[in-house]
Amino acid sequence: MMRGNYLNRGGKGADRFQKGRRAENFFPTIIRLFKYMRRDLWGLIFSMVIAGLSVILSVQAPKILGTATTVIFDGVTKSLKNHQAIRIDMAKVESILLYVLVIYLISFVSGVLQQSIMTRISQRTVYTLRREFKNKMKKLPISYYDSHNNGDIMSRMINDMDNISGTLNQTLIQLITSILQFVGTIYFMLTISWQLALVAFITVPLVMITVRIVAPLSQKFFSEQQKNLGLLNDQIEENYSGHTVIKTFNHEAEAEKEFARRNDDFYKSAWKAQFVSTLIYPTMRFINNLDYLAMAVIGGLKVISGSVNLGDVQAMLQYTNQFAQPITNISNMLNTIQATVASAERIFEVLDEKEMTERITDIEKVTDSKKKRTDERPKNSVSNFETAERTDFIHFEQVAFSYNENQTLMTDVNFSVEVGQMVAIVGPTGAGKTTMINLLERFYDVSSGKILLEGKDIRETKREQLRSRMAMVLQETWLFSGTIMDNLRYGRLESTDDEVIQAAKMAHADEFITTLPQGYQTVLNETATNISQGQRQLLTIARAFVANPEILILDEATSSVDTRTERLIQSAMNRLLKGRTSFVVAHRLSTIRDANQILVMDKGNIVETGNHESLLKQEGLYASLYNSQFAK
């Protein structure tokens, strides 16, 4: 039971995620993320070392191969100069090629080993994050779920976690190897010929300018694309889930226009994003080809002049091809890392949220706000608690509550309930009926005052222990994908099949279950749409019967069934409620005539209390509500 529209899955929260964001606390978040990798620190270091070894060996290969080319070229040149048959030192060439083959083999094995290590480390890290995230969600107050979109929470749990996993698995090592490759390439180019190296370095400013212009522009368009994709998905989901309403009010044409508009926005943004992102590679290739051409011409002239060996020019041409690649990779990876750190921030935001307070060690320490509120109680306020005996089962004593500090809902709620009593809570929409149930189940804690269960403040009891004594049937049914038997046993997992079937009979659900092809083994789909709304409600009532609770909470539990079924359920409930304490939130006042106590609420407080006959005689709010339903 949550305050607000908890069925909303789209909206601003989804948009906020889809737009993407840049990290606000980059380095602190990086440090905190790496702390999750502490137990794999040596594995991470080892992975980086072998990755570096792989790069260093592979970067050497062009220069070594150039030596083989020089040996062949010198042999051919010397033979032609001496007018002899061509003689090449093939033994030396073979040894060079074998050496290069070993280098490539070591580089390959190192790459595979490094990738397997990083995959394990990244998955262990994200596993730990997911476990902490899941545990955190159990400890967050209901108010967090009320104020945060479900889709946004799921995005943090799935999309942001995947971003971190992908970056740790791929980008982190690639960033290191790209830097090493860039530095290594420069080093070996300088060892061959610093003049030819300068030819390659001339294009560096062009590469940096290209990356600086295209990459941010591409990121901007991709963010726009993701935003429009999110809006399009929201509209499609909304239309599919509400297709009956759309058809009923003849809004098909408007829905199609809205879809066409959003689809067109997505098409335009996606086209721009894809087009701009593809510009960087042909542009880099064009710059690299210019560099390659200049290197070939100048290198050829130096070979002719005898100042540089042919093999060295060949190596320089290979290094020229490799030179621009690390720059491009590093630029792209920096954007990825920035987005990943932003994802980590979103996860850490949840982990840093204030948790529910489970216990109060000294319940007698009353805050100043409570004292002030007690002193300001109206003179004519009568507290049922003050006249009740401590043997009463449940007591609300001077309870005050507000969802936010600026708007107080409850100011002074007092009543007591004896064991086995049926308490009905009625009132207009927004009167505070559901809020009272939220407080009883500790979905929220009172701002001041006490709720006592058997003389003990419920804040001194763990929430799990408190709720194990209760069962709830809501107006909104919730069933998971699985068999009917599993859904009913959810009320009490250790219950037997016979107990489940008996509970279904008490709820009058057995009659329709046995008519299904697979009976109790019928599998419900994700939203249980393969049975009717009324049947779903019967199953939730039967699930509460299985729980066999001390306290039963019914929130308009019969609102989705027909009149005949409602009468059957009401008679079954009368049997179930014997010996149990129950709270019934009702709009149909005909269902609560036999309640031992009726609490009439308005604007968050109890304005009338009594049984059905006494309240009618008062001719107050209850009589007004009742007469509006049964005027005839």
List, for residues 32-78, the tens digit of each pLDDT value. 888 888 888 888 888 888 888 888 888 888 888 888 877 887 777 77
Task: Give the pLDDT score at 278.
Answer: 73
pLDDT score recorded for residue 33: 87
Is the pLDDT confidence value at 549 over 70?
yes
Asked if 414 contacts 425 with a C-beta cutoff of 8 angstroms, the reply is no
Residue 329 has pLDDT above 80, yes or no: no
SS (H, E, C) 539-598: HHHHHHHHHCCCEEEEECCCCCCCHHHHHHHHHHHHHHHCCCEEEEECCCHHHHCCCCEE
Between residues 381 and 488, the one the model is more confident about: 488
CA pair distance 112, 625, nearest whole angstrom: 74
Alpha-carbon gap, residue 259 to 617, rounded angstroms: 57
Residue 585's CB: how many other CB atoms inside 10 A?
A: 24
pLDDT-derived band at 219, boundaries 50, 70, 90: low
Average pLDDT over residues 149-171: 81
pLDDT at site 3? 39
- For the cut 50, the answer to whether the pLDDT of residue 594 exceeds it is yes
Per-residue pLDDT reduced to its tens digit, 17-37 = 344 455 567 788 888 888 888
Q: Is the pLDDT of residue 11 over 70?
A: no
Average pLDDT over residues 115-137: 89
**pLDDT tens for each residue of 423-443:** 999 988 888 888 898 899 888
User: Please, are residues 467 and 551 in contact by the beta-carbon 8 Å criterion?
Assistant: no
| The pLDDT of residue 112 is above 60 | yes
Average pLDDT of the residues in 521-541: 81
pLDDT, tens digit (0-9, with 9 covering 90-100), for 82-104? 777 777 778 888 888 898 888 88
- Is it the case that residue 221 has pLDDT exceeding 90? no
Cα 550 to Cα 126: distance, rounded to the nearest angstrom: 41
Question: Which band of pLDDT confidence, cut at 50, 70 and 90, is reported for residue 560?
Answer: low
Rounded percentage of the chain residues whose pLDDT exceeds 90:
10
Strands 470-473 and 551-555: parallel
Phi, psi for 191 (deg, rounded to 5): -70, -25
pLDDT digit string, tens, across residues 615-632: 988 988 988 888 887 665
pLDDT band at 360 (very low <50, low <70, confident <90, very high): very low
Quickly count: other Cβ atoms within 10 Å of residue 33's Cβ.
Answer: 21
Does residue 232 or residue 526 have the better pLDDT? Answer: 232
Q: What is the pLDDT of residue 186?
A: 85
What is the rounded average pLDDT for all residues in the chain? 79
User: pLDDT-based confidence at 363, cuts 50/70/90?
Assistant: very low
| Confidence at residue 451, expressed as pLDDT on a 0 to 100 scale | 93
Predicted confidence at residue 559, as pLDDT, reads: 61
Mean pLDDT calculated for residue range 547-569: 74
User: Tell me, what's the pLDDT at 488?
Assistant: 92
For residue 336, pLDDT beyond 50: yes
Which of 241 and 542 is assigned the larger pLDDT? 542
The crossing angle, in degrees rounded to 10, of helices 310-351 and 90-139 is: 10
Arithmetic mean of pLDDT, 352-371: 55
- pLDDT at site 327: 74
Q: Is the pLDDT of residue 115 over 90?
A: no
| Alpha-carbon span 223 to 219, nearest angstrom | 6
Q: How far apart are CA 273 and CA 218, in angstroms?
A: 6
pLDDT, residue 387, reads 35
Q: DSSP labels for 214-253? A: HHHHHHHHHHHHHHHHHHHHHHHHHHHHTHHHHHHTT-HH
Please, is 323 exposed, middle or buried when counting C-beta atoms within 10 Å of its C-beta (0-12, 13-18, 19+)? buried
Average the pLDDT over 529-550 and give the result.
84
Whether the predicted pLDDT of 378 surpasses 80: no
For residue 496, name the pLDDT band (cuts at 50, 70, 90): very high
For residue 47, what pLDDT is reported? 84
Q: Is 8 helix (H, G, I), strand (E, B) or coil?
A: coil
Condensed to tens digits (0 to 9), the pLDDT of residues 294-315 reads 888 888 888 888 778 888 888 8
pLDDT for position 425: 92
What would the pLDDT profile of 386-409 be if each residue is shown by its tens digit? Answer: 333 445 799 999 999 988 777 788
Residue 81 clears pLDDT 90, i.e. is over it: no
